[in-house]
Amino acid sequence: MQQQKKEITQKNGTTTIKFSENKIEEGNALTHQAGSDEINIHETGIYQISYQLYGVQEVTGTFNFNAILLVNDNAIQDTFNESSVIRNSTENRMTLTSTVILRLQEGDILKLSGVSIEDIIYNNARIDIEKIG
């Protein structure tokens, strides 16, 4: 399943990412309702999960920009990801990318969370999930 988030702005510091559309869906292993932050797992197995999360902060300076995957609203610490910050005169921009492999159970709910103590505008994200075993 490939999901993308476009033209949705969330300024919350730490927030789960709502994916506005589903590009490719094949099979019954997982489902996602467009506009939701929840990805529902319907088949127990091993999943490869890749994501890109792009964010900006309108104030320049040093700050945190991180991401983590949640399963059933529990943070999976091995998936914590930090980004370097690109600074210019008007805003800070950053992109996080990661690929992880997780064993998920039928009934699990997967979410991608942007983690920061500052307000970040998450204006583009993508997640690709494939059941590999």
Q: Is residue 129 classed as helix, strand or coil in its secondary structure?
A: strand
pTM for this model (two decimals): 0.86
Lowest mean pLDDT among 18-22, 60-64, 91-95: 60-64
**Residue 80, pLDDT score:** 93
Model pLDDT for residues 64-84, shown as the tens digit of each residue: 788 999 999 999 999 999 876
Domain boundaries, the chain: 2-131
Please calculate the CA angle 124-90-18 and round it to the nearest 5 degrees. Answer: 20
**Which residue would you say has higher pLDDT here, 90 or 56?**
56
**Which residue would you say has higher pLDDT here, 123 or 78?**
78
- Nearest Cα residue to 29 out of 18, 49, 19, 44: 44
- Nearest Cα residue to 17 out of 92, 111, 117: 111
The CATH label, of 1.10.510.10, 1.10.10.10, 2.60.120.40, 3.40.50.360, for the domain at 2-131 is 2.60.120.40
